[in-house]
Amino acid sequence: MPKLISGAEIVFKALEDQKVEYIFGYPGGAVLPIYDELKNHKTIKHILARHEQGAGHAAEGYARSSGKPGVLLVTSGPGATNAVTALTDAYMDSIPLVCISGQVPTHLIGTDAFQECDTTGITRPCTKHNWLVKDVNDLSRVLHLAFEVATTGRPGPVLVDIPKDIQFKKGKYKFTKNSFKKKLNGKATHKLSNKELDKFIDLMKTSSKPIFYTGGGVINSGPDASKYLRELVSLTGFPITSTLQGLGAYPGDDPQFLGMLGMHGTFEANNAMHDCDLMINIGARFDDRITGKVDEFSPKSKKIHVDIDPSSIGKNIKVDLAVVSDVSELLKSLIKRFKEKNKNFLNSNKQKTSKWWEQIDKWREKKSLNFINSNKIIKPQHAVQRLYELTKDQDTFITTEVGQHQMWAAQHYKFNKPNRWMTSGGLGTMGYGLPAAIGVQIANPGKLVVDIAGEASVLMTMQEMSTAVQYKLPIKIFILNNEYMGMVRQWQELLHEKNYSESYTAALPDFVKLAESYGCVGIRAKTPDELDEKIKEMIDVQKPVIFDCVVDKSENCFPMIPSGKPHNQMILGPEEDEEISDEGKILV
C-alpha cells in the first residue's frame, strides 16, 4: 500500500520527477496549500512575479532559451485569467508551458464563489489540452500527462486546474510513464521511407531556383536540428531565408542567408520566395505575415513542407510534397540519403543555380535594410546595429517586445545560434520581452540578456523590474524610445492618412528615475556620439538596467510588403522614387 500524501505534495513530487527546477508564479487563496508545501522541496525554486502574465512570459522565456518546459503556478479567478495572454502567446508560438492553477473547492464550483472562474472553459482554446482534477487519485497521472502533451509533437501550453480541497486531500502518488503515443500528437516517429526521401531529393536536383524557408520548428526540434540544417544548406549550396521565429537556426551572417522574409523581410528574401521554382519549408507555417496575398504567393514554385503538425500542412498554402516529421529526424535521414546518392551534387548544382545566385545578388544590391543615418539624432536601426556590434562577441540572448523595435531587432541583430532569440511572433504580445528576459536570465545565469524594447510595450509589464531586482537578474532593458506606438503610428501614416489616433503617449515616465526607484540602474542616450559608450556602460553593469535610448520619433520600418500585395511588390523606403546617395545610406 503506497503512502498517502496530500494533493499539494503530489504536485511537487510530480514536478520533481519531471526534473523541474524553477516555477514562475503568484500565490492566492485557492492555491495556498501548494505554496505551503513549497518549503519542503528544496530542488524547486519559485520565482515570484508581479503579475501572472509576467510569470507566464517569464516561463516562456525560460522554455524558449533552455529547451525545457516552463512551469507556471497561479491562483484561481484573476490569477488564471491574467495568465491567459501568456498561454495564448505560448500556443501561437509553440512554447511548452505547464500551468497549474488553483480552483475553488469542488463543492463551490458553479456557485460563483469568491475568485471563481471557469478556468478550463476560458483556457480551452488557448491550450493544447487542459484538465480539471476532481479526484486526488487522478492528480499524478494528469500532471505527468500534462508534461507529455506540452512537450511532444508541436509543443504548446497545457493547464491543470486543481480545486483547493483536492490540494488538501490525501491520495496515492504514482510516476507513470504515460503511454501517450498518439500518432499525430506525439513526436512523429514514423520512419521516413527512402521513397519519400528520394522524392524530396529529386525535387532538389531538378530545381534551378531553390530556396530554403525555415521557421521556429527548427528551433523547437532542438540544437541538433540547427546543426543538420547548416549541414544540408552547405551540402546543397541553396539560399536560405528564415521566419521571425526561426532566426538563429542558421547563422545570420552567412553568405547563403538572405535575411528574414515576410512583411518586414529583406528585398532579396521576399523576391527569392516569389520567383523560386522550389520552396523547401522546414518548420514554418505559411503565416499571413509571410505569405502576403495568398493567391499570388510564389506562383511558379513547387513547394515542400516539413512540419510535425499535420494540420499546419495545407492550411494556408497548398504544397506538392508534405512531410509530417520532426525536423531533426527528417534532416538527419535526408542528409544521409543525400550523401549516399549524390556525391557530386554541390558541383553540378553550382552551375545550375549560378544564374539564380546572380539574380539574388542583384536583389541584394538594393540593400533593402539601409536607412538614412544621422549624426544629430539616434536612428533606431543604428542603435540596434551598435548593440549588435558591441555584444556579438559574447553569448547574448535577445528578447523583444512587439512593434517597430522588434522588426528592427530582427533585421539588424544577427543571430548565430538557436535559442538566443525570444520574441512574440504569433500573438504579437506587447509586454512580452521584459518578463521573458527574466526567464531567460534564470535559465542562463551569467549570460548577457537584453530586451530590445519599445517604450509603449515595456510599460505593459514594467512591474516585473521588481522581480528582476529581487532575484538579482542583471537583465538589460534597451528601450528604443520614440514616444509613439511606433508600428501603430507607421500604419496610420501609411494607411490612414496620418491620422495618429491615440498612438502618442503623453506623460511618459522618466525611465532613468523609474529604474532608480526599482533599485536598478538607469542610463539614457540622446545622441549618436554617446551611444557606444553608454551601451558599454550598460553591458558592464552587473545589475538590471533600464536603458532609455532616445530615438528619431518619425522613423518607419522598411522594407515593407503593403497589405494585400505579393512578395515582389515591396516598399523599400520613404523616398522610394528618389535616389538616395550612397553616402547618405548606411551599409548593413
Give me the active site residues, please: 52, 114-115, 164, 487
Q: How far is the CB of 145 from another protein (least distance, A)?
A: 8
User: Quick one: which segment of 23-31, 127-135, 328-336, 432-440 binds another protein (CB under 8 A)?
Assistant: 127-135
d(CA 482, CA 377): 11
Instruction: Write phi, then psi, for 454 (nearest 5 degrees).
Output: -110, 155
d(CA 99, CA 128): 12
Q: Give the residue, chosen from 565, 580, 585, 586, that forms a contact with another protein under the rule CB under 8 A.
A: 565
Largest separation between any pair of C-alpha atoms in the chain: 82
Q: Is 217 in the site for another protein (CB under 8 A)?
A: no
342 three-state secondary structure = coil
Q: How far is the CB of 263 from another protein (least distance, A)?
A: 8
Q: Is 187 in the site for another protein (CB under 8 A)?
A: no
Q: Is 255 in the site for another protein (CB under 8 A)?
A: no
Q: Is 120 in the site for another protein (CB under 8 A)?
A: yes
Q: How far is the CB of 197 from another protein (least distance, A)?
A: 23
User: Quick one: which segment of 37-45, 313-321, 379-387, 399-407 binds another protein (CB under 8 A)?
Assistant: 313-321
Strand 321-324 relative to strand 302-307, pairing: parallel
Q: Is 171 in the site for another protein (CB under 8 A)?
A: no
Q: How far is the CB of 130 from another protein (least distance, A)?
A: 8
Of 168 and 491, which CB lies nearer to another protein in the complex structure?
491
Q: Give the residue, chosen from 299, 519, 562, 584, that forms a contact with another protein under the rule CB under 8 A.
A: 562
- Residue from 232, 237, 251, 242 nearest 273 by CA: 242
Of 129 and 447, which CB lies nearer to another protein in the complex structure?
129
Q: Which three cell numbers stand for residue 428?
A: 504579437
Q: Is 318 in the site for another protein (CB under 8 A)?
A: yes
Instruction: Write phi, then psi, for 575 (nearest 5 degrees).
Output: -105, 45
d(CA 435, CA 497): 35
Bridge partners of residue 24, in order along the sequence: 47, 72
The 542-561 site mask, x for binding another protein (CB under 8 A), equals --------------------
Of 50 and 128, which CB lies nearer to another protein in the complex structure?
128
Residue 32, CA atoms < 13 Å, CB-side half-sphere: 6
d(CA 585, CA 512): 32
Q: How far is the CB of 380 from another protein (least distance, A)?
A: 20
**Residue 566: cis peptide before it, omega within 30 degrees of 0:** no
Q: Give the residue, chosen from 314, 445, 519, 584, that forms a contact with another protein under the rule CB under 8 A.
A: 314
Q: How far is the CB of 283 from another protein (least distance, A)?
A: 17
Distances (CA, A) of 210 to 201, 233, 329, 556: 12, 11, 22, 32
Q: Is 107 in the site for another protein (CB under 8 A)?
A: no
Q: What is the 3-state secondary structure (H, E, C) of 126-137?
A: HCCEEEECCCHH
Distances (CA, A) of 263 to 178, 206, 289, 565, 572: 42, 29, 5, 10, 11
- Residue from 189, 128, 188, 183 nearest 160 by CA: 128
Cβ density class 197-217: b for 16+ within 10 Å, e for less? beebbebbbebebbbbbbbbb
Q: Is 190 in the site for another protein (CB under 8 A)?
A: no
d(CA 251, CA 400): 19
Of 135 and 395, which CB lies nearer to another protein in the complex structure?
135
Instruction: Centre a 10 Å sphere on the Cβ of residue 164 and count the other Cβ atoms it contains.
Output: 23
Q: Which of the residues 474 through 493 are near another protein (CB under 8 A)?
A: 491
Q: Is 181 in the site for another protein (CB under 8 A)?
A: no
d(CA 561, CA 280): 22
User: Quick one: which segment of 269-277, 289-297, 434-442, 475-483 binds another protein (CB under 8 A)?
Assistant: 289-297
Q: Is 292 in the site for another protein (CB under 8 A)?
A: yes
Q: How far is the CB of 243 from another protein (least distance, A)?
A: 17
Of 295 and 583, which CB lies nearer to another protein in the complex structure?
295
Q: How far is the CB of 493 from another protein (least distance, A)?
A: 10
Bridge partners of residue 304, in order along the sequence: 280, 321
Of 31 and 561, which CB lies nearer to another protein in the complex structure?
561
Are 58 and 442 in contact by the 8 Å Cβ rule? The answer is: yes
Q: Is 494 in the site for another protein (CB under 8 A)?
A: yes
Q: How far is the CB of 17 from another protein (least distance, A)?
A: 21
The 512-541 site mask, x for binding another protein (CB under 8 A), equals ------------------------------
Q: Is 235 in the site for another protein (CB under 8 A)?
A: no
Q: Is 346 in the site for another protein (CB under 8 A)?
A: no
Q: Is 311 in the site for another protein (CB under 8 A)?
A: yes
Of 65 and 312, which CB lies nearer to another protein in the complex structure?
312
Are 524 and 550 in contact by the 8 Å Cβ rule? The answer is: yes
Element (H, E) at 194: helix 194-206
Q: Is 129 in the site for another protein (CB under 8 A)?
A: yes
Q: How far is CA 366 from the centre of its chain?
A: 29
d(CA 90, CA 84): 10
Q: Give the residue, chosen from 135, 170, 178, 184, that forms a contact with another protein under the rule CB under 8 A.
A: 184
Q: How far is the CB of 149 from another protein (least distance, A)?
A: 6
Distances (CA, A) of 208 to 203, 204, 238, 266, 435: 10, 8, 10, 21, 45
Q: How far is the CB of 125 from another protein (least distance, A)?
A: 5
Chain length of the chain: 588
User: Quick one: which segment of 24-32, 189-197, 307-315, 532-540 binds another protein (CB under 8 A)?
Assistant: 307-315
User: Quick one: which segment of 211-219, 304-312, 393-401, 474-482 binds another protein (CB under 8 A)?
Assistant: 304-312
Of 315 and 417, which CB lies nearer to another protein in the complex structure?
315
209 three-state secondary structure = coil
Interaction site with another protein (CB under 8 A):
120-121, 124-125, 128-129, 132, 149, 182, 184-185, 288, 291-295, 309-311, 314-315, 318, 491, 494-496, 562-565
